[in-house]
Chains A and B, each alone.
Chain A
Amino acid sequence: MTTHCAIEMTVNDKRYTGLVEPRLSLADFLRDHLGLTGTHVGCEQGICGSCTILLNGETVRSCLLFAVQAHGATIVTIEGLAAKAKSGDRLHPIQQGFLETVGFQCGFCTPGFLMTTYEFLQENPSPSEEEIRERLTGNLCRCTGYQNIVAAVQWAAERLRAR
């Protein structure tokens, strides 16, 4: 139980190493070991989507992965999203979109929505409202009724297309 494994991974373009118990979740590793607390844990069952991150470019639930499974992986969390903006922009257009349209209230689910949106707009730069809603079903929000979140994704899509 107490054997520890050495792991290393690249998170937000920085290389990290760690010595972890095999049962430690990736979400807990990011939060408690690396101090990247922007990734939130809302259910530990993969339902709410608050802990969504990018693992090797794909969205995954970091609560359903063990840290040891991410050994050698490249990860992007909410803290690394701004760096994906065009150089000179302090925030990524998706972040700007959520601010512009007020696509958040309490902010707890917001990082997960941003990561989902990041992957989505790369795949589908001109989504319809229906397509946006469909993709966002994997993330739960209890505050906004999704109204302004859908608008935020539309805002960001438009801004990204204009680049």
Chain B
Amino acid sequence: MAETSSRFIGRSIKPYKSKRFVTGDGTYVSDVCLPNMLHAALLRSMHAHARIGAIDVKEALAIDGVVGVWTGRDIEERISPFPESFEIHPLPWLEGVKPVLQGPRPTALAKGKVHYVGEAVAIVVAADRHRAEDAVDAIGIEYEPLPVVVDPEESLQPGATLVHDGSNNNVVFSFSIEKGNVNRALGAQPTMLRERFRHHRYCAAPLEGRGVVAWVEPKTHMLTVWSSTQMPHLVRRQIAAQLDLAEENVRVIAPDIGGGFGPKVFVYPEEILIPFLALQLGRPVKWIEDRSEHFISTAHGRDQLHDIECAFDQEGRILALRDRFLLDNGAYNPMGLTDAYNTAAHLQGPYKIPNLSVSGTCVSTNKVPNAPYRGAGRPEAVFVMERCIDMIATRLHLDPAEVRRRNFIQPQEMPYQAGILYRDGQPVCYDSGDYPETMNRALQGAGYTELRARQPELRRSGRYVGVGIACYVEGTGVGSFEGAKVRIDASGRVIITTGASSHGQGHETVFAQIAADLWGLTPEQVSVVEGDTASIPFGCGTFASRSTVTVGSAIHGASAQLKDKLLQVAAHMLEANPDDLELAGGRVSVRGLPQRAVSFSELARAAVPGWASKLPAGLAPGLEATFYFEPRTVTWANAVHVAVIEVDIEIGTIKLLDYVVAHDAGKLINPLLADGQVHGGVAQGIGAALYEELAYDENGQLLSGSFVNYLLPGSMEVPKIKIFHLESPSPLNPLGVKGLGEGGAIAPPAAIANALADALSPFAPRVNAIPLTPDLVLELLAQKEVRSEASAV
């Protein structure tokens, strides 16, 4: 196939087919309205840990309009349990890392005992949502409260309350990886950091929560399910498996999705229960998560505690790093090792770390399950490493940018073997990038040199302005696969079908740009179909900064196959040699003889079975090809963030004065949409650094379970974000692309924490935890007062 001409790839094309979003015509799950539809509501545990006693549903059933109530006992014979994890761990990784993995298998409704506040205990179906909730309130349930474990360190203690019956301890997953000889390197080195870092619990909080509508076609028994999910194919597989149905009788549609960001990446109880009820009742059933439910039933993220030792030389070069960390997994472990191992695999960042040891332990507590959220383990790693670098700089009285320069992997060292395995089982190998240059661009963009020069004067006038840098690398475009079906229909349009669905990323536009260049069309002549299991047999989903890499490459692969066939058909019709043909403007013509041509439409109408067929002998009908791209391993994007903040040291508030991102995600398909992804990620990272926190009390009650206390950043909290793109093409895929969906969210906690430590450097604060609340800032300042009082004595 001819080289792709870049007529559309690389251009900031505005999204196609998006008018619906400004006219109110988007269709989200909650907008799906079917005749005769019933509504479900769930009774959720108010206890963090309790044995379930008698459940009395009489009063609930007596409410006018209530159709039924189901408890764990009612479904246990009919809905099989969930797997302990949805993540498939590849064999080479299992053999290389030898993790301990022992998760419990959740049930769709709690049975025997509840393990966290919010766990589903019973489900009611009624004529409308109000009545369903009335009935939930009317269910009588006896609980025998059990001791609660909310602290992951306590959870590890001998004799700790066990979250799950039948387990020996609360560890659900642990592993260690090592390169070099950390013990020797740490022992030999006098200059050392010993620090404890905490990256707190927060969540994705998409503005649309989860929601499910299920409908059974009465004559064919075909089950159709609409779900606000990132993974329609996985949902279909799980419904079929847990309800014992044939996959071909289950269709899952992910319509417009009001934000995903990670937690919609696995299958939840409601995605099984609602189809189950629709099958039981023979009527459509709808359940829409409300915001309070969202906070106690949709997965949370992050929540890691790191103890590190880091040795470095007098020039600031890191010699060894040991990190032992805990991940507070909550009550279940839907995504296995994903977050924890991502943390380990990304800890080294863009730096040369000759000796490394990381051990991670995931523990159960009586909290909402923890699962990937934008960045998935990486923001935690970056927070640890980037704080270490700044601490080294402070110790050695060096500029933090200079310490980074001294530790960077150099562009001439690419591809760089980082000495550990990735979670796909392949060695971590940074494929391309110029890390020093990425930082230069970010520093220039922020006016770093000038800021440093002005800082002493600002401090003299009582202004505490700080600059923080954070660098990271990100493995993007992870497997195990994604597919694309490319088809040319009788109208001559190219139709791309894929299993990875969009929830705001702009797939329709990006994939159309790629296909347009491959086919010599305009993006308007390409249609993109996604979010429907009926349209392509296999699909992974949209997560882990992967769609452009995997779907883009699959479009490339499928197009190559289809073009080959198209040319054979055209050659037959034009009585020419396929090698003499060329594609342009939706036509195939003989090179040099543009009038000897046949249009895509004519070709599609020729490539049919039967009497109308004009196919050459031996060629199967249909202009269609499907290709599943299975990346050998990930591509490595990199970026540097610079945050400039000002601290009001009297009341501890932090104002972001400037935020700069230099970003390298390989070849960019659409810079405008790429910027949008970075913007959104940075805003979420700002939320994590300064505002958002899921705090629990000692009884396992969530203290910030609404938008009143869970503080998403608003338009005054997110400053103007400056973005600079670098493009180091990846050698690992035909388009040279890398992923970028998560990147923006990875660095802000580290950059802002570094900026705070810098702003307050006269007070030598230990900025080891986020969120950086006004309270915490005043505490950090008070530590200095205490320290100086102590030294005065």
Task: List A100-157 residues whose CB lies under 8 Å from chain B.
Answer: 100, 102, 104-111, 114, 132-134, 136-137, 139-150
Report if A107-B258 is in contact (Cβ < 8 Å); known contacts: A45-B706, A144-B676.
yes
CA distance A44 to B288 in the complex (A): 12
Q: Are A99 and B22 in contact (CB under 8 A)?
A: yes
Q: Are A104 and B18 in contact (CB under 8 A)?
A: yes
A: number of interface residues (CB 8 Å): 57
Interface residues on B, range: 35 or more
Residue from A43, A47, A105 with most neighbouring chain B CB atoms (10 Å): A105
| Residues from chain A with Cβ under 8 Å of B714 in the complex | 136-137, 139-140, 146
Residue B611 is within 8 A (CB to CB) of chain A in the complex: no
Q: In angstroms, how far is the closest chain B Cβ from the Cβ of A115? A: 10
Residue from A132, A142, A144, A148 with most neighbouring chain B CB atoms (10 Å): A142
Q: Do most interface residues of chain A lie in helix, strand or loop, or is the interface mixed?
A: loop
Q: Are A142 and B684 in contact (CB under 8 A)?
A: yes
Query: Which of A35, A44, A47, A146 interacts with B718 by CB under 8 Å?
Result: A146
Residue A7 is within 8 A (CB to CB) of chain B in the complex: no
Report if A47-B707 is in contact (Cβ < 8 Å); known contacts: A78-B24, A100-B14, A134-B716.
yes
Q: In angstroms, how far is the closest chain A Cβ from the Cβ of B659? A: 9
Q: Are A106 and B257 in contact (CB under 8 A)?
A: yes
| Residues from chain B with Cβ under 8 Å of A149 in the complex | 715
Residue from B14, B21, B291 with most neighbouring chain A CB atoms (10 Å): B21
Q: Are B291 and A79 in contact (CB under 8 A)?
A: no
| Residues from chain A with Cβ under 8 Å of B681 in the complex | 145
Q: Are B15 and A102 in contact (CB under 8 A)?
A: yes
Give a binary string over A21-32; 1 marks a CB under 8 Å from any B CB, 0 the rest.
Answer: 101100000011
Q: Are A109 and B23 in contact (CB under 8 A)?
A: no
Residue B259 is within 8 A (CB to CB) of chain A in the complex: yes
| Residues from chain B with Cβ under 8 Å of A145 in the complex | 679-683, 718, 721, 744
Residue B33 is within 8 A (CB to CB) of chain A in the complex: yes
Stretch at the interface among B54-62, B154-162, B498-506, B601-609: B498-506
Q: Are A106 and B30 in contact (CB under 8 A)?
A: no
Q: Do most interface residues of chain B lie in helix, strand or loop, or is the interface mixed?
A: loop
**Which residue of chain B has its CB nearest to the CB of A152?**
B22
**Which residue of chain B has its CB nearest to the CB of A36?**
B24
CA distance A102 to B675 in the complex (A): 11
Q: Are B680 and A47 in contact (CB under 8 A)?
A: no
| Residues from chain A with Cβ under 8 Å of B23 in the complex | 38, 78-79, 81-82, 91, 95
CA distance A50 to B673 in the complex (A): 23
Q: Are A143 and B680 in contact (CB under 8 A)?
A: yes
Q: Are A50 and B207 in contact (CB under 8 A)?
A: yes
Q: Are B130 and A23 in contact (CB under 8 A)?
A: yes
Query: Which of B258, B676, B708 interacts with A45 by CB under 8 Å?
Result: B708
Residue B99 is within 8 A (CB to CB) of chain A in the complex: no
Give a binary string over B183-207; 1 marks a CB under 8 Å from any A CB, 0 the rest.
Answer: 0000000000000000000001111
Report if A102-B259 is in contact (Cβ < 8 Å); known contacts: A40-B28, A78-B24.
no
Q: Are A39 and B24 in contact (CB under 8 A)?
A: yes
| Residues from chain A with Cβ under 8 Å of B25 in the complex | 38
Query: Which of A31, A37, A44, A134 interacts with B290 by CB under 8 Å?
Result: A44
**Which residue of chain B has its CB nearest to the CB of A147?**
B679
Query: Which of A37, A136, A147 interacts with B720 by CB under 8 Å?
Result: A147
| Residues from chain B with Cβ under 8 Å of A134 in the complex | 715-716
Q: In angstroms, how far is the closest chain A Cβ from the Cβ of B377? A: 20
Query: Which of B64, B258, B679, B707 interacts with A106 by CB under 8 Å?
Result: B258
Q: Are B22 and A91 in contact (CB under 8 A)?
A: yes
Q: Are A98 and B208 in contact (CB under 8 A)?
A: no
Residue from A23, A36, A137 with most neighbouring chain B CB atoms (10 Å): A137
Q: In angstroms, how far is the closest chain B Cβ from the Cβ of A142? A: 5
Residue B20 is within 8 A (CB to CB) of chain A in the complex: yes
Residue A2 is within 8 A (CB to CB) of chain B in the complex: yes
Q: In angstroms, how far is the closest chain B Cβ from the Cβ of A1? A: 8
Q: Are B259 and A108 in contact (CB under 8 A)?
A: yes
CA distance A133 to B679 in the complex (A): 15
Q: Are B26 and A107 in contact (CB under 8 A)?
A: yes
**Which residue of chain A has its CB nearest to the CB of B204?**
A142
| Residues from chain B with Cβ under 8 Å of A82 in the complex | 23
Query: Which of B15, B258, B676, B684 interacts with A40 by CB under 8 Å?
Result: B258
Q: In angstroms, how far is the closest chain A Cβ from the Cβ of B205? A: 6
Residue from B15, B28, B207 with most neighbouring chain A CB atoms (10 Å): B207
Q: In angstroms, how far is the closest chain A Cβ from the Cβ of B269? A: 22
Residue A160 is within 8 A (CB to CB) of chain B in the complex: no
Residue B94 is within 8 A (CB to CB) of chain A in the complex: no
Q: Are B676 and A107 in contact (CB under 8 A)?
A: no
Q: Are B680 and A35 in contact (CB under 8 A)?
A: no
Q: In angstroms, how far is the closest chain B Cβ from the Cβ of A102? A: 6
Task: List A51-100 residues whose CB lies under 8 Å from chain B.
Answer: 77-79, 81-82, 91, 95, 98-100
CA distance A41 to B259 in the complex (A): 14
Give a binary string over B665-683; 1 marks a CB under 8 Å from any A CB, 0 the rest.
Answer: 0000000110110011111
Q: In angstroms, how far is the closest chain A Cβ from the Cβ of B747? A: 14
Residue A9 is within 8 A (CB to CB) of chain B in the complex: no
| Residues from chain A with Cβ under 8 Å of B543 in the complex | none
Residue B261 is within 8 A (CB to CB) of chain A in the complex: yes
| Residues from chain A with Cβ under 8 Å of B721 in the complex | 145, 147
CA distance A133 to B716 in the complex (A): 6
Report if A106-B256 is in contact (Cβ < 8 Å); known contacts: A42-B291, A114-B22, A142-B205.
yes
Query: Which of A36, A39, A105, A136 interacts with B506 by CB under 8 Å?
Result: A105
Task: List B488-511 residues whose CB lies under 8 Å from chain A.
Answer: 503-506
Query: Which of A2, A98, A146 interacts with B683 by CB under 8 Å?
Result: A146
Q: Are B291 and A43 in contact (CB under 8 A)?
A: yes
Give a binary string over B737-769; 1 marks a CB under 8 Å from any A CB, 0 the rest.
Answer: 000000010000000000000000000000000
Residue from B26, B258, B675, B715 with most neighbouring chain A CB atoms (10 Å): B715
**Which residue of chain A has its CB nearest to the CB of B723?**
A147
Residue from B24, B27, B291 with most neighbouring chain A CB atoms (10 Å): B24
Task: List B356-372 residues whose CB lies under 8 Å from chain A.
Answer: none
Q: In angstroms, how far is the closest chain B Cβ from the Cβ of A22? A: 11
Q: In angstroms, how far is the closest chain B Cβ from the Cβ of A76? A: 11
| Residues from chain B with Cβ under 8 Å of A108 in the complex | 26, 28, 206-208, 258-259
| Residues from chain B with Cβ under 8 Å of A102 in the complex | 14-15, 672-673, 676
| Residues from chain B with Cβ under 8 Å of A37 in the complex | 24, 27-28, 30-31, 33
Residue B19 is within 8 A (CB to CB) of chain A in the complex: yes
Q: Are A142 and B207 in contact (CB under 8 A)?
A: yes
Residue B442 is within 8 A (CB to CB) of chain A in the complex: no
Cβ contacts A to B, 11 pairs, < 8 Å: A38-B25, A42-B258, A44-B291, A47-B708, A81-B23, A81-B24, A106-B208, A106-B256, A107-B21, A133-B715, A136-B715
Binding site for B on A (CB under 8 A): 2, 21, 23-24, 31-32, 35-45, 47-48, 50, 77-79, 81-82, 91, 95, 98-100, 102, 104-111, 114, 132-134, 136-137, 139-150
List 3 tightest A-B contacts by C-beta distance, closest first. A38-B24, A108-B258, A105-B504
Binding site for A on B (CB under 8 A): 14-15, 18-28, 30-31, 33, 64, 130, 204-208, 256-259, 261, 290-291, 503-506, 672-673, 675-676, 679-684, 706-708, 712, 714-716, 718, 720-721, 744
17 new A-B contacts at CB < 8 Å, known A144-B679, A147-B679: A31-B30, A37-B33, A40-B208, A42-B258, A45-B291, A98-B21, A99-B22, A105-B680, A106-B206, A106-B504, A107-B258, A142-B206, A145-B681, A145-B683, A145-B744, A146-B715, A147-B718
